[in-house]
Structures are given as structure tokens and as C-alpha cells.
């Protein structure tokens, strides 16, 4: 028995395979937390949910969302892993569990391999300990929500291969090939290159360290670096070339290279979290530190866990004491320090250097968040901790040999305790799940829907309702990124923000379907432009509205087709379906944006088979303008009602108590106070190029003045008061001046946001001063004027001038006529009251000449001039004004409300003699008459506030907050008290949403525990119209487009299509209903006629057989893949944006050399670059293997 035992021990010591087996056994712990048959998906932790189908995601263009450039090519390893195991019959849950196990054990083996690449005593035990630490490391726990992060798994393996290659333990070419192989784990992070940076820097630092230590080996080491760089570059071209092609065709590279993206250190996500103190324990991820993981709390507050956490760096750097001359220990100690310093980013010390780096170097924005870079330190810690534990155990073994094993086990136990979420399964849970969560199961209906839709042989999109807004939530427990792309092979549109060119028209389609007024025909025609012929109602979606299944099919011509549990499918009438390829009969030349196409596609003479060309009328493209059928010209208002509405709603809904007051160290008038002010001026000067940052600095320093006055106010003399007050006024005035500049810009979005913030800060300052000086003086605040009151009064006048809406009852419009001709004027508005108001209360002038209502008629709900008007080319002006519009409130109705106040005919008088609860702030409601969905309203009243806050609230009937089940206010502005003993006037604008009735409450809000004393009078609400004006010109020019060819199109894959053309004798436009991209190229091909006909197995036909659809294929690679190589595509000047998102090409007879039958190949250029890069990469690998075989045979 002793001999057998000795042999077993000898085998275990001699064969590293048993060490690996130990790691594989240790990795089985993941199955403790993984429940059989259940999935673990949330956030961005997505996996292929339909694996074999998801192999199609390797194409660089996907048909979802109307067509987008897709970058799942880099996930080929993950996709292949899941597809193979699905093919052999494993369930998706088992597949995921195996993948997690594989990745987790790969991380351990990877670290074991790296440690084993160095020579030192006790290597096997140290390697095993380093593997255990790496499998349960704090870095992995901080990276919450991502169960498998392949760069983490392979990073030590890549460094280990590099070490072996540069030291000569492995051949230069063979180690380069293996590094290339494991780079598959790194590229999943592409085009983000933080993981590439970690890997490259690790190898480069070891290269520098190696040539510094072994100076005689400089050339061999340099030679290896050259070979590795060349091999990695050439074998990476399969993903570099297509991405470079994509960047060259778009403005993405310019955006990626943009500098000056952050206004201050606080704008960086890691600021205040990835501090040196946190990084020393390999922690500091912002999400983790803020409780983003359900297991975060113990790592932040539990003393035992904190002790173990901070024991990690102590043990790691103790290795330099135990083995001070060890080259590997010195190297990894340096690595730990370097990566900790890099990972701290903008945090101290020297955080400003990183800030300057990110804001001044192209592509440096990739390092805006830097915490993950401490992965390099994590690798170093794994090595160093194993060294320290081994040395401690060895020294203790001198006392008692059993102490060696005990120390190793204690160290391993501490590592496991520190990584307890990986043992208990909490690592796989999310803060979005219930405490009882054990995993998820995708309802079978998803796959039933996929199978049903996939049986269709035609090429179409389905529209998912409700619209997806970023992250999605489902009633079966999933919360995270969109999963539709991974489940369905049929192209879909779900409103996801990922949609590129189609975003505007997609949003318009959803809006038309959702509006509580009948715009069904406009919705149907908009859906036709998007190649949609089915609507899928998804009641699994957490924001779904069951009533939509009843309301929407009534609006459009759609009939119920099929139901799978909570999925309901409705098919739109074929009349409103436009195939993927078509030749338009009517095309419209317009400068109206896609979001407003509905304004003219509802016109009676609109042809469903239209091509809409969105172009700048002043820069006519002659290829289009020579053949227009219809010209529709937009008329732009000089003011935006939507911006005015946002200005009112956004500013008034903010909370003044949320204003931040920075700490002030120096008292106004003190010795150092002038230096403080000079430094602030310098900061303002340095930030003036960025309007948002510049204004924020003004508000920050103004709040600082308020803090100073609050802290030292009673001790300041008059001069100090005036200095602090004047400084405050100058800062606030500077902010207002910046706002005035922003208001002049065409895009008001930044103005609206910053005005809200500025006004909120101003009200907060008023409130803070009231609390500071008059907490116990009740009404004295309203009777006595403080030194700051004069300043607040001056600022208030400027705020009112910015907030007050312009005259919304008289709006001027600008338009440009591109060609002298006769035009019809069309006017429409969604408000039911508009037509009555237009014909009875309006005045319309064009270029100063009045156009009387008698010149108009109503046709299909659109007001249209009876006779056409003649216009010369150039700019023109239209003005529409309304007078005597009715008040939608009944003034006498106020007298019939609850007896909370006194009232007369023209005065509503609140006097509450005791503080009231929030429910008692409101008057009884009054109904707003003629309330119309998606319409604007003007509100005005006079108010006098002695005590409390005045305001009003508008509630729409049926507008319920889902979480609380209570009505939510559409508008809730609050006006703080004024010390001016006169009535104040309020004017504002608001817009209704999707509701047909509403009521208004007047408010009397108590302040600081005081009873409210408020008066109102002249309360009015009037409709504000936002009509759409269009000028239309129908062309009388003759055109060759009446005689159109017949086409048959076939889908080869999502990046390539073929169109068989017959009877093409004249120029025509070919529309391809896929997201516009310069990467789409059209080639004229003329193979033998027999080949063309053999490809046209028709599966569907449209428009009386003029358009046919051939049988679709899914060919990734065959001999025809390269048929367009070397051929010239149609010129880009004949490639047009059509229908708001799609591609179209003008095809001329000379393109086909006068032939009337030929083939057009539509191909996505970046995919061709992928094939080219793949070819170069494969040839490089073949060459390297050939070299290795050759050198082996001839012993080179």
C-alpha cells in the first residue's frame, strides 16, 4: 500500500494535468447558484437566445429597426459555442450554465498558466493559489451583471504566452499564433479598446522589463515583438477592415475622435469612486460602490469582509519582503502600482492630468471611465498573494510541518469567503429581481411566434407594440437590454433607440398609432414606407396597454391573424404593403422632415407607391428635380411652440430644495477672499468655450455666495454685504446672459435644460435666504426688505422676460419657393376647434397681402386654397393671427366650488388661516372645455401672494401614474411669494398629451409652516393652434418614368440582394426599403439570361405582377460572393435618401449598355471588406502553420 501511495503522490507531483483537474473541480461551484432549466439574463448580460438562428448576427448589416450596421461579428466565439451545443440537443439553460462554467474555469487555468511561466520555488502550489484567487477575485465581483467576461478569462493566458515567447520557452511564431487565438476573448470588447489597451500594455511592460534585466537579449526580444505585431495585425484584419470601412463611410470616426467632451472632473463616472484607497483592494467600480449589486453592502460596511479586502494589498506587496530579489515579484509589483495609478483616472493624485488627456487627445474618450483598467493590478495581485501565502506557510512549517498545509487552506478559505457571492449564487442575481429570484424561463410563446413568422417566404417587417424605450422589462422577470434581436429572425421594428436613419419615421409611426384622434390612414401609409405588414402586440412587456389591441386595429385596416399566449398578431391589408424593393409611380420632392411626412401623405392624391425625396430645396439635385411629380414645401414658424411648452413644463417641475450649496472656507472681506474670487474668474474664463460648463460654473459660484451669506451674514458689515451681493448678482446675470445667447440658437434643447436649472437655482436661493434669516419671524419676511431682496427683484424681471412666451396668437412663418410657378396652399391642424377659428377669428397674410377665408375650401379635413397662387423664386413670409378666441374656462364656475375661499365675479381669493396638508392646497377643479389631445393651450392669470406659494395644476382624466395608480399632473408650476404689494401676472403654455378631457386646480401652497394667503383673478385658458402649412406644386413636365420595368428581387443574405429587371427602356428609380447608408452599393450585372431566370422562383407578387419576390436564401459564402469584385458601382451622386430612411438609385439605360433585361446587385461594402480581411487573416495563419511545419521538418 505504501508503494502505491508513493506512486500516486509522484504522479500528482509530476503531471500538471492534475492541477488543472483540481481547478476544473473547483469551478463546479458555479452550479450551486445555477438552477436547472433556468436562465440568468438581465441588464447587458445577454446571451444568444436562439443560438443557431443567431449565427446570422455575424452579418454586418441587420434588417431590424429599419436596418442598422451591426457589430456582433466579434461575438463569433460565443455564438458558435451556443450554436454547437444547441445542435447536439442541449437546452438553452444548460448551454448557458456550461458557458459560465467554461469561462470561470478558463480564468483559473489562464492564471495557473501565467504563474507557471516563471521559474521559482514552490511553483505548482503558488500557481494553484493564484488560480483560486483569480477565480474568486474582487475585480470580478465589482464587474456585476456580466456573468461571463471573456477578456478577464484570457488576459493572464495571453501574458503567459508572451512571457514564454519572449524568453524562448516557446517558439516565436507558435506563441504568436496562440496569442492570436486567445485574442478572440479580447475582441468581444471591440470597438471599445480598453481591454486591448490592458493586454498591449501588459506585454509592452514585460518587454521593457525583460530587455532591461537581460540586456544581451534585446534583439531576440525585439524580433519577437515585431513577429507578434505583424501576426496579430494581419490575423485581425477580418474585423479591422470592415470596421475601418464603416468609419470611412460615416461621421462616426469624427465623433469618436472628438475632444473637449467633459466639462469638469465631476462629469467622469469614476470620480469619487475609483480612488487609490478603493483600487488597492481591487474595488471602486461606480455601480458596485453605489449598491448596484445585491451583494455590494457587505463589501462596503461589513468589518470582516473589509478586513479581508484590505488584507489583499498587504499580502500582495508583502511578496517584495519575502522575495526582494525575485524578478517576477518585482515585475508584478510594478504592474500592480502602474495599473492602480492608471485606473484611478481623474481621482487624486494628479487627476487633472487624466482630465487633460481625455479632453485633448483623439480617441482618448474611450478612457472616460477607467476603473476596469485595474484588471492588470488584479492579475498582479493573484501572483503576488500566492507568493506571500507560500512564503508564510513555509516559514510556519519550520515550527510544525502541519502548519504549511493549514496556512494554505486558511488562505484558500479567506479567498473563498471574500468571493462568497460566487459560492452562494448571489453573483447571478440582480437588484432588479425579487429576493426569491432563482432564475428565468423564457415563455414558449416567443419561440412559437418566431416559428410562425419565419414560415413566411416574403421579406417584411413586423412592428412591435408597445414601443421599446431603451431597457425593457417583462412580466416574466426579465429587465435589461432589448432581446428581440436575439429571438426573432423576421425583421422587426420596435422603436429601440438603436435605430439609425429610420428613427424619425419610426417614432412618427408610433405617435400616429398612439394618438387619441383618428389618424389611421396616415398611420397606414407611414407603416407602408417601413415595409411593415404585421403588428405584434406584446403583453409580456411591462409597459404594454391591453386597450391598444382594441384601439389600434380600429384605426387602421388590420385584422386579427394569430395569438400565442400574450402575443397577438394583426395583419395589415395588402393594399398598404410596399415590398422591400419597388419602383415608385409618384415621387415627392420635399424639404419636410420624416417626422412630419404624415402631414402630406394624407393628401387625397398621394399614391401608396411613392418615393419621397427629402432634400434641400435650395440645393436642387438635377437628377431628381428634372423629373418631379409633386413638390411639397415646408413652412417653418419663427417660434417653436414645443420649445415654449418644454420651457414652461421643465422649469416649473424642478425642486428648488435640490440645489447644491458648495462649502465656503473664506469669509467675504477676509485676507484670502480676493484670491478666491480671482481663481473663480480664471475658471470661468477657461470654461467659456463650453456653454453648459460655463453656465454651470456661474451657478456653482453663485450658490457659493449664498452659502457665504448664510454662514456669515449677520457678521458682515455693509461693504462686505454689498461686495458679496454684487458678486452674486454678476454671476447670476452672467448665467442669464449665456441663456439669452442660447435662446437665439435654432436648437433650443440646451437652452431649455439650462434655463430649467438656472431658474430652479434662483428659486432655491430665494428659499434659502428666507429660511436663513426669518425662520422665526413669520410674516416679517414679507414686510421687511433685506439687502438681497433688491438683487432678487432685479433678477426676477430678467427671468420673467426669458420665461414669458411670445405672442402665440400671431405667428410668423418663413418659406422658400425654389421655382417660380403656381402653388396651392394647404393648412391643417389636429385641434377640432381649428377650422371654426380659422374661418371666423383669423387673419392670414402672405408677404403683407391678406388672404381672405373665402379663398379656401375644406377637402378631406384639409383647408386648401380654391385657386392656385403664383409665387416667384425666393424667400417669402406668412403670418397667421387669431383674435377673440373663447376662454375654455367658465369664470362664474369658481363661485360654485367648495367653500375653502371667498370669491367674486372677477376674483378668486384664498385665505387659509392655518397650515394645510398637501391635499388641501388645491381648489376644487374646473373642467377645461374643448380639450383636444396633442394640442397647445395658453394659460394666464393675475395673482397676489401674501403668504405661501401660488400656482396651478392641470390633471388629464385617465392620466395615471402606473406605479402609484394615482392621477399625475400634466403641469404643476409653483410661483414663490413676492414682496411687491401688487398683483403679479403669469403667462404660460402647455401641451395636452393623449387625453380628451382635463381639469384645472388653483393652488395655495404653504411655505415654512405658514398659512397661505393668496388671491387670483382673470384666469383664462385659450387654445393655441400649431397648424401645418404646405405649398404644393404638381409638375406639368413630361417624364419618362411612366413606363416602368418589371422587377423580381431575391435576398441572398442581409448584406446582399439581387434584382432581376425586365422591359427597362427608360430611366427609373429603384427604392430599397432598408436603412440608408453609403455602404450600400448598386452594381449592374449582365449574366446569361438563363442564369437570371433560374434565380427567379417567385414566392409573391405585387401591383398586378409588376414586382415579384423570389425565393430567399441565406448564403454566407460561395463562388458568387466575389462576383462584384473589380466592378464599378453606380455613382454615389445617384444614390438617394428616400422615404425618410431608405436607399434609392437612379438607373439609366446606359448603365446596362442599352439592354432591357439585366440584373442589379445591391451589396453592403463593409461586408465585402470582411471577406477581404478574412482572406488575409486565413492566409496569414496558413503561412504561419506552413512555416512551423517546414521548420520542424528541416529543423530551422
421 located within any domain: yes
- Residues 391 and 488 grouped into a single domain: no
What is d(CA 409, CA 857) in angstroms, rounded to the nearest whole number?
91
Interval 412-445: pLDDT, tens: 888 888 888 988 888 888 776 666 678 889 999 9
Q: Do residue 901 and residue 1045 come from a single domain? A: no
Give the pLDDT of residue 984: 82
- Determine contact, residues 535/466, Cβ cutoff 8 Å: no
Helical (H) or strand (E) element with 823: strand 821-828
Gap between the Cα atoms of 1179 and 1001, Å rounded: 76
Q: Of 1134, 877, 911, 1112, nearest to 1010 (Cα)?
A: 911
- Average pLDDT for 554-572: 92
pLDDT for res 7: 58
Residues 417 and 559 in one domain: no
- CB-based contact 332:133 (threshold 8 Å): no
Taking the C-alpha atoms of residue 711 and residue 704, their distance in angstroms, rounded to an integer, is 10
Residue 921, pLDDT > 50, answer no
What pLDDT score does 602 carry?
81
Whether the CB-CB separation of 969 and 1002 falls below 8 Å is answered with no
Q: How far apart are CA 534 and CA 536, in angstroms?
A: 7
Q: What is the pLDDT of residue 780?
A: 40
In this structure, is the dihedral angle defined by the CA atoms of residues 178, 180, 184 and 187, taken in order, positive or negative?
A: positive
- Domain co-membership, 213 together with 278: yes
Evaluate the CA torsion angle 859, 863, 866, 868 in order and state its sign: negative
Share above pLDDT 70 across residues of the chain, in percent, rounded to a whole number: 85
Q: Is the confidence at residue 854, as pLDDT, over 70? A: yes
Q: Which residue has the higher pLDDT, 843 or 651?
A: 843
Tell me the pLDDT band of 17, cut-offs 50, 70 and 90. Answer: confident
205: burial class by Cβ within 10 Å (0-12, 13-18, 19+)? middle
138 HSE (CA, 13 A, CB side): 30
Q: Do 748 and 766 share a domain, yes or no? A: yes
pLDDT one-digit tens code per residue, 723-734: 888 888 888 888
DSSP letter at 44? T
User: SS3 letters for 222-275?
Assistant: HHHHHHHHHHHHHHCHHHHHHHHHHHHHCCHHHHHCCCCCCCCHHHCCCCCCCC
* C-alpha dihedral (640, 646, 652, 654), degrees to nearest 10: -150
Q: How high is the pLDDT of residue 707? A: 83
Q: What is the pLDDT of residue 776?
A: 36
pLDDT, position 1056: 95
Domain residues for the domain of 1046 are 1037-1165
pLDDT of 903: 38
Task: Tell me, yes or no, whether 1120 lies in a domain.
Answer: yes
The pLDDT of residue 978 is 61
Mean pLDDT over 1124-1130 rounds to 91
> Is the confidence at residue 775, as pLDDT, over 70?
no
Q: Is 62 within a domain?
A: no
Residues 1006 and 1079 placed together within one structural domain of the fold:
no
Domain total in the chain: 5
Same domain, 823 and 953: yes
Q: What does the pLDDT look like over 619-637, one tens digit per residue?
A: 555 455 555 567 888 787 8
Residue of 251 and 377 predicted with greater confidence: 377
Give the model's pLDDT for residue 482.
Answer: 87
SS3 66: helix
Q: Are 516 and 584 in contact (CB under 8 A)?
A: no
Output the pLDDT for position 888.
Answer: 92
Q: Grade residue 513 by pLDDT with cuts at 50, 70 and 90.
A: confident
Count of residues for the chain? Answer: 1196
Buried b (16+ CB within 10 A) or exposed e, 308-332: bbeebbebbbbbbebbeebebbbbb
Lowest mean pLDDT among 114-118, 137-141, 247-251, 1046-1050: 247-251
Question: Which tens digit of pLDDT belongs to each residue from 648-688?
Answer: 654 444 444 445 667 677 788 887 888 888 888 888 887 77
Q: Does some domain include residue 458?
A: no
Q: Say whether both 1081 and 1015 belong to one domain.
A: no
> How far is Cα 635 from Cα 1030, in angstroms, rounded to an integer?
6
Cα 1054–chain centre separation: 24
pLDDT tier for residue 919 given thresholds of 50, 70 and 90: very low
Residue 935 has pLDDT above 80, yes or no: yes
Helix (H) or strand (E) holding 417: helix 402-418
Alpha-carbon dihedral sign for residues 948, 952, 958, 959: negative
Instruction: Write the DSSP symbol of residue 1010.
Output: B
Q: Say which range, 689-698, 794-803, 880-889, has the weakest mean pLDDT.
A: 794-803
Q: β-strands 586-590, 630-634: how paired? A: parallel
pLDDT band at 911 (very low <50, low <70, confident <90, very high): very low
Q: Residue 467's CB: how many other CB atoms inside 10 A?
A: 19
Task: Give 915 or 509, the one with higher predicted confidence.
Answer: 509
Cα(1065)–Cα(1049) distance, rounded to whole angstroms? 19
Judgement on whether residues 1141 and 1051 belong to the same structural domain of the protein:
yes
Residue 1083 has pLDDT above 80, yes or no: yes
Q: Facing residues of 332 across strands? A: none
Residue 103: pLDDT band (50, 70, 90) is very high
Residue where a domain terminates, one of 803, 822, 855: 803
Cβ–Cβ < 8 Å for 1080, 1164: yes
* C-alpha to C-alpha distance for 1103 and 384, rounded to whole angstroms: 74
pLDDT of residue 913: 35
Q: What is the pLDDT of residue 10?
A: 60
Q: How far is CA 170 from the centre of its chain?
A: 45
Residue 267: per-residue pLDDT: 65
pLDDT of residue 1040: 52
Residue 1004 pLDDT class (50, 70, 90 cuts)? confident
Tell me the pLDDT band of 4, cut-offs 50, 70 and 90. low
Instruction: Give the mean model confidence (pLDDT) for residues 83-96.
Output: 94
**Does 1007 score more than 80 pLDDT?**
no
Asked if residue 412 belongs to a domain, the reply is yes
Q: How far is CA 1027 from CA 72, 343, 531, 834, in A?
A: 45, 55, 29, 8
Residue 359 has pLDDT above 60, yes or no: yes
Least confident of 23-32, 129-138, 708-717, 929-938: 708-717
Confidence grade of residue 353 (pLDDT, cut at 50, 70, 90): confident
Mean pLDDT of 121-135: 91
Residue 1037 has pLDDT above 60, yes or no: no
Residue 967, CA distances (Å) to 736, 744, 917, 962, 999 in order: 35, 37, 18, 9, 12
Write out pLDDT tens, residues 134-184: 999 989 888 776 778 889 999 999 999 999 999 988 888 999 999 998 988
Whether residue 858 is preceded by a cis peptide bond, meaning omega within 30 degrees of 0, is no
Across the range 953-972, mean pLDDT stands at 77
Give the span between the Cα atoms of 843 and 845, in whole angstroms: 7
Q: Using alpha carbons, select from 471, 435, 378 the residue that is nearest to residue 142.
A: 378
Is 110:153 a contact under the CB 8 Å cutoff? yes
> Are 564 and 479 members of one domain?
yes
How far does CA 505 lie from the centroid of its chain? 18
Question: Which range has the worst mean pLDDT, 311-320, 679-688, 764-773?
Answer: 764-773
Tell me the backbone φ, ψ of residue 640, rounded to 5 degrees. -105, 115
Q: How confident is the model at residue 128 (pLDDT cuts 50, 70, 90)?
A: very high
Res 1087: pLDDT? 73
Q: What is the CATH classification number for the domain harbouring 958? A: 2.60.120.260
926, 893 contact by CB (below 8 A) = yes
Which is it for the CA torsion 1120, 1122, 1127, 1132, positive or negative?
positive
Q: Note whether residue 1091 is domain-resident.
A: yes
Average pLDDT over all residues of the chain:
82
pLDDT tens profile 458-480: 999 999 999 887 788 898 988 88
1043 and 1026 in a common domain: no
Find the mean pLDDT for residues 1101-1124.
88
The last residue of one of the domains, among 1001, 1017, 1034, is 1034
- 1021 and 1041 in a single domain? The answer is no
Q: What is the pLDDT of residues 192-223, one digit of tens each?
A: 778 888 999 999 999 999 999 887 789 999 99
Which of the residue ranges 415-424, 774-783, 857-866, 950-959 would you say has the lowest mean pLDDT? Answer: 774-783
The CA–CA distances, whole Å, from 802 to 296, 582, 741, 746, 1028 equal 46, 50, 11, 16, 26
pLDDT at 90: 94
Q: So what's the pLDDT on residue 256?
A: 55
Q: Which of 756, 783, 803 is the last residue of a domain?
A: 803
Q: Is residue 450 included in any domain, yes or no?
A: no
598 falls within a domain: no
Give the mean pLDDT of 827-844.
88
Amino acid at each position: 500500500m505504501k508503494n502505491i501511495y508513493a506512486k500516486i503522490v509522484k504522479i500528482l507531483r509530476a503531471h500538471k494535468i492534475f492541477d488543472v483537474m483540481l481547478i476544473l473541480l473547483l469551478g463546479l461551484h458555479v452550479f450551486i447558484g445555477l438552477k436547472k432549466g433556468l436562465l440568468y439574463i438581465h441588464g447587458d448580460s445577454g446571451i444568444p437566445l436562439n443560438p443557431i438562428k443567431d449565427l446570422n448576427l455575424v452579418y454586418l448589416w441587420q434588417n431590424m429597426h429599419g436596418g442598422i450596421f451591426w457589430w456582433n461579428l466579434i461575438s463569433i466565439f460565443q455564438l458558435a459555442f451556443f450554436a454547437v451545443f444547441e445542435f447536439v440537443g442541449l437546452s438553452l439553460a444548460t448551454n448557458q450554465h456550461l458557458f459560465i462554467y467554461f469561462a470561470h474555469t478558463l480564468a483559473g487555468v489562464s492564471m495557473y498558466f501565467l504563474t507557471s511561466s516563471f521559474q521559482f520555488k514552490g511553483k505548482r502550489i503558488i500557481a494553484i493559489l493564484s488560480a483560486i484567487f483569480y477565480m474568486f477575485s474582487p475585480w470580478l465581483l465589482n464587474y456585476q451583471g456580466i456573468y461571463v467576461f471573456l477578456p478577464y478569462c484570457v488576459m493572464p493566458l495571453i501574458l503567459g504566452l508572451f512571457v514564454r515567447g519572449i524568453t524562448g520557452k516557446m517558439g516565436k511564431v507558435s506563441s504568436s499564433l496562440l496569442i492570436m487565438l486567445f485574442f478572440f476573448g479580447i475582441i468581444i470588447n471591440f470597438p471599445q479598446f480598453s481591454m486591448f489597451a490592458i493586454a498591449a500594455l501588459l506585454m509592452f511592460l514585460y518587454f521593457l522589463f525583460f530587455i532591461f534585466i537581460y540586456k544581451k537579449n534585446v534583439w531576440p526580444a525585439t524580433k519577437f515583438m515585431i513577429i507578434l505585431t505583424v501576426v496579430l495585425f494581419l490575423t485581425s484584419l477580418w474585423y479591422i477592415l470592415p470596421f475601418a470601412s464603416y468609419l470611412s463611410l460615416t461621421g462616426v470616426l469624427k465623433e469618436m475622435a472628438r475632444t473637449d467632451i467633459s466639462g469638469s472632473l465631476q462629469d467622469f463616472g469614476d470620480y469619487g469612486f475609483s480612488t487609490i484607497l478603493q483600487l488597492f483592494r481591487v474595488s471602486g467600480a461606480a455601480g458596485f460602490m453605489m449598491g448596484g449589486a445585491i451583494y455590494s453592502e457587505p463589501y462596503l460596511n461589513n468589518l470582516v469582509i473589509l478586513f479581508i479586502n484590505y488584507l489583499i494589498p498587504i499580502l500582495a506587496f508583502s511578496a517584495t519582503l519575502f522575495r526582494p530579489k525575485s524578478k517576477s515579484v518585482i515585475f508584478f509589483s510594478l504592474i500592480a502600482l502602474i495599473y492602480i495609478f492608471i485606473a484611478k483616472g481623474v481621482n487624486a493624485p494628479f487627476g487633472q492630468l487624466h482630465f487633460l488627456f481625455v479632453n485633448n487627445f483623439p480617441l482618448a474618450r474611450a478612457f472616460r471611465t477607467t476603473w476596469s483598467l485595474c484588471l492588470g493590478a488584479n492579475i498582479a495581485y493573484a501572483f503576488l498573494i500566492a507568493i506571500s501565502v507560500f512564503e508564510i506557510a513555509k516559514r510556519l512549517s519550520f515550527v510544525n510541518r502541519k502548519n504549511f498545509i493549514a496556512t494554505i487552506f486558511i488562505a484558500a478559505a479567506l479567498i473563498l469567503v471574500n468571493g462568497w457571492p460566487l459560492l452562494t449564487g448571489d453573483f447571478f442575481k440582480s437588484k432588479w429581481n425579487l429576493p426569491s429570484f432563482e432564475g428565468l424561463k423564457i415563455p414558449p410563446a416567443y419561440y412559437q411566434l418566431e416559428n410562425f413568422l419565419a414560415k413566411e417566404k416574403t421579406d417584411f417587417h413586423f412592428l412591435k407594440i408597445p414601443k421599446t424605450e431603451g431597457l425593457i422589462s417583462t412580466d416574466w422577470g426579465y429587465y435589461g437590454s432589448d432581446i428581440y434581436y436575439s429571438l426573432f429572425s423576421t425583421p422587426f421594428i420596435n422603436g429601440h433607440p438603436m435605430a439609425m436613419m429610420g428613427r424619425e419615421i419610426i417614432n412618427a409611426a408610433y405617435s400616429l398609432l398612439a394618438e387619441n384622434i383618428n389618424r389611421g390612414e396616415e398611420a397606414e401609409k407611414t407603416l407602408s414606407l417601413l415595409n411593415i405588414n404585421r403588428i405584434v402586440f406584446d403583453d409580456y412587456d411591462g409597459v404594454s396597454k391591453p386597450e391598444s389591441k382594441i384601439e389600434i386595429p380600429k384605426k387602421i385596416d388590420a385584422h386579427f391573424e394569430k395569438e400565442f399566449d400574450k402575443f397577438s398578431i394583426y395583419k395589415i391589408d395588402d393594399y398598404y404593403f410596399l415590398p422591400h424593393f419597388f419602383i415608385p409611380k409618384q415621387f415627392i420632392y420635399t424639404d419636410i422632415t420624416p417626422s412630419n411626412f404624415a402631414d402630406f401623405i394624407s393628401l387625397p392624391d398621394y399614391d401608396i407607391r411613392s418615393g419621397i425625396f427629402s432634400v434641400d430645396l435650395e440645393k436642387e439635385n438635377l437628377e431628381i428635380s428634372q423629373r418631379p411629380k409633386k413638390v411639397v414645401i415646408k413652412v417653418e414658424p419663427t417660434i417653436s411652440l414645443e420649445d415654449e411648452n418644454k420651457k414652461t413644463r421643465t422649469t416649473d417641475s424642478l425642486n428648488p430644495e435640490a440645489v447644491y450649496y458648495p462649502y465656503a472656507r473664506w469669509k467675504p472681506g477676509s485676507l484670502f477672499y480676493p484670491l478666491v474670487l480671482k481663481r473663480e474668474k480664471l475658471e470661468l474664463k477657461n470654461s467659456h468655450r463650453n456653454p453648459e460648463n460655463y453656465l454651470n460654473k456661474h451657478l456653482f459660484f453663485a450658490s457659493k455666495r449664498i452659502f457665504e451669506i448664510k454662514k456669515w451674514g449677520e457678521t458682515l458689515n455693509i461693504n462686505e454685504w454689498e461686495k458679496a451681493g454684487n458678486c452674486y448678482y454678476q454671476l447670476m446675470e452672467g448665467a442669464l446672459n449665456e441663456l439669452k445667447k442660447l435662446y437665439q440658437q435654432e436648437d433650443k434643447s440646451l437652452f431649455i435644460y439650462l434655463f430649467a436649472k438656472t431658474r430652479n437655482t434662483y428659486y432655491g436661493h430665494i428659499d434659502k435666504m428666507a429660511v436663513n434669516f426669518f425662520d422665526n419671524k413669520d410674516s416679517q419676511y414679507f414686510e421687511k426688505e433685506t439687502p438681497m431682496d433688491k438683487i432678487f427683484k432685479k433678477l426676477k424681471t430678467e427671468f420673467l422676460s426669458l420665461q414669458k412666451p411670445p405672442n402665440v396668437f400671431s405667428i410668423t412663418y418663413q418659406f422658400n419657393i425654389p421655382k417660380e410657378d403656381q402653388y396651392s396652399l394647404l393648412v391643417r391642424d389636429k385641434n377640432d376647434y381649428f377650422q371654426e377659428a380659422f374661418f371666423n377669428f383669423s387673419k392670414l397674410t402672405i408677404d403683407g397681402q391678406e388672404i381672405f377665408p373665402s379663398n379656401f375650401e375644406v377637402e378631406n379635413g384639409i383647408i386648401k386654397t380654391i385657386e392656385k397662387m403664383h409665387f416667384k423664386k425666393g424667400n417669402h413670409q406668412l403670418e397667421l393671427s387669431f383674435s377673440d378666441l373663447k376662454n375654455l374656462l367658465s369664470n362664474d364656475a369658481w363661485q360654485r366650488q367648495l367653500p375653502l375661499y371667498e370669491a367674486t365675479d372677477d376674483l378668486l381669493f384664498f385665505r387659509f388661516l392655518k397650515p394645510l396638508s398637501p391635499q388641501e392646497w388645491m381648489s376644487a377643479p374646473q373642467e377645461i372645455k374643448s380639450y383636444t389631445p396633442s394640442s397647445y393651450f395658453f394659460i394666464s392669470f393675475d395673482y397676489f401672494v401674501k403668504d405661501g406659494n401660488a400656482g396651478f395644476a392641470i390633471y388629464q382624466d385617465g392620466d395615471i401614474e402606473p406605479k402609484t395608480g394615482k392621477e399625475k399632473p400634466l403641469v404643476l408650476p409653483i410661483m414663490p411669494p413676492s414682496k411687491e404689494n401688487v398683483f403679479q401676472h403669469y403667462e404660460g403654455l402647455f401641451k395636452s398629451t393623449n387625453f380628451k378631457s382635463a381639469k384645472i386646480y388653483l393652488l395655495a401652497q404653504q411655505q415654512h409652516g405658514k398659512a397661505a394667503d393668496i388671491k387670483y383673478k382673470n384666469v383664462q385658458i385659450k387654445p393655441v393652434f400649431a397648424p401645418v402649412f404646405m405649398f404644393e406644386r404638381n409638375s406639368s413636365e413630361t417624364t419618362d418614368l411612366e413606363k416602368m420595368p418589371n422587377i423580381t428581387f431575391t435576398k441572398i443574405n442581409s448584406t446582399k440582394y439581387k434584382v432581376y429587371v425586365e422591359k427597362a427602356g427608360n430611366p427609373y428609380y429603384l427604392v430599397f426599403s432598408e436603412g440608408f447608408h453609403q455602404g450600400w452599393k448598386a452594381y449592374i450585372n449582365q449574366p446569361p439570361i438563363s442564369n437570371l431566370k433560374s434565380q427567379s422562383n417567385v414566392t409573391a407578387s405585387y401591383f398586378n405582377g409588376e414586382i415579384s419576390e423570389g425565393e430567399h436564401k441565406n448564403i454566407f459564402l460561395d463562388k458568387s460572393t466575389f462576383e462584384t469584385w473589380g466592378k464599378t458601382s453606380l455613382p454615389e451622386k445617384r444614390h438617394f435618401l428616400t422615404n425618410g430612411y431608405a436607399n434609392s438609385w437612379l438607373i439609366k439605360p446606359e448603365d446596362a449598355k442599352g439592354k432591357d433585361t439585366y440584373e442589379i446587385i445591391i451589396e453592403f461594402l463593409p461586408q465585402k471588406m470582411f471577406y477581404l480581411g478574412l482572406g488575409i487573416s486565413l492566409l496569414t495563419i496558413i503561412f504561419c502553420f506552413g512555416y512551423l511545419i517546414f521548420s520542424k521538418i528541416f529543423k530551422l
